[in-house]
Structure 1
Amino acid sequence: MGRYDVVEWRYVSHGARAVPEPWAAPLIWTAAYAGSFALVHVLDLLGVLDSSGLALAALSLFAALLGVRGSFVAAPGTALLCWGFLNFFGAYPTGRLSWAVDRDVQWIACLLGAALVGTATARVLQARAAYRRITPYTPEPYV
């Protein structure tokens, strides 16, 4: 028998933690629905909803924060839900969905971009942290 005939079992997960799984898309969409509804109403109570640029920035930040916990699949739905509340409550005519091609395409692109940037940033940071937690295997010398 040679020195390589001995098999030594080691646990790979010793000291290493897995990268956290993103939340399911329906959970992210529920949070986007409730959060954008609340955010738009808070902006309305503060009297700053008339400035659609500020409302768009606030909803984009919210979409990016949801993207941190979500997956890439959830990003389009998150953007559309945030856009729906912004369009319904924050743009003229208030209380009705409308479609102004130039404005709404830019709003949807901004919200989608924010959700995707949030998701990509979270995935890169989590993968990098998981990589740094892994220690290289150093076999013990045979005596």
Structure 2
Amino acid sequence: MIEWVSLSTGARPVPRPAPTPLVWAAAFGGALLLVALLNALAGTDRPSLALAGLSLLAALLGLCARFTAAPGTAVLCWLFLNGFAIPPAGTLTWAGQRDTLWLTCLLAATLIGTVLARLTHARAAYRRVTAGIGPAATEPDHEPRGY
């Protein structure tokens, strides 16, 4: 007779977010590579394409980051966007409304990624915890008395 035995040792913990310095290093390297690739393929006259790509990178980094890493991730992506994805390349500038909008988009993308990851992990943990509670465990063993 074959008996199926669970190899699980209990509920798995929720994954820990990556350390903030590691996320920032990935943001630095990823933004550098992405902007270099976009500049080579599309040129420096398409900042909206670069903003979309960097926002996607920021959201992906947010999936494995803490909330405290979001501002630094957004600023690192913005530095490469502002410094190398718009002419004149290599010069940081501040154009009030434009750069505020760009920073807001990058910060929102990072926060959306982080919130999405936290909700997904919380939902998975809830399912793992409630999976062990079946109908037999929640129903009383005896009939309630009618007074």
TM-score range, shorter chain: 0.7 to 0.9
Quote the Cα distance in structure 2 between the aligned partners of 1:28 and 1:49: 26
Q: Which runs of 5+ in 1 are unaligned?
A: 1-12
1:71 aligned partner:
66
For normalisation by structure 2, the TM-score amounts to 0.82
- Residue deviations 1:29-51, cap 9 Å, x none? 00000000000000011024421
2:133 counterpart (133, 136, 140) = 136
Quote the Cα distance in structure 1 between the aligned partners of 2:61 and 2:41. 23
| Pairwise CA distance, 1:93 | 2.3
**C-alpha separation between the residues in 2 aligned to 1:16 and 1:49?**
50
Using the alignment, how far apart are the partners of 2:41 and 2:87 within structure 1? Answer: 18
Matching residue of 1:81: 76
TM-score, normalised via structure 1 length: 0.84
Q: Distance between the aligned counterparts of 2:71 and 2:35, measured in 1? A: 19
Letter in 1 for 2:62: G
Quote the sequence identity (%).
Answer: 53
CA–CA distance in structure 1, aligned partners of residues 14 and 43 of structure 2? 39
Letter in 2 for 1:36: A
Q: Is 1:125 aligned to 2:117, yes or no? A: no
Query: Which residue of 2 is the match for residue 113 of structure 1?
Result: 108
- In structure 1, the residue matched to 2:4 is none
In 2, Cα distance between the equivalents of 1:62 and 1:131? 28
- Let me know the Cα RMSD of the aligned residues: 1.7
Number of residue pairs aligned between Structure 1 and Structure 2:
128
Contact 1:48 1:54 in 2 (8 A): no
Deviation at 1:92, TM superposition (A): 2.7
23, 26, 29: which is aligned to 1:28?
A: 23
CA contact (8 A) 2:66 2:114 kept: yes
Equivalent residue letter for 2:50 = A
CA displacement, residues 38-69 of structure 1 (integer Å, 9 cap, x when unaligned):
00000011024421111100000000000000
Query: Which residue number corresponds to residue 46 of structure 2?
Result: 51
Match of 1:95 among 68, 72, 90: 90
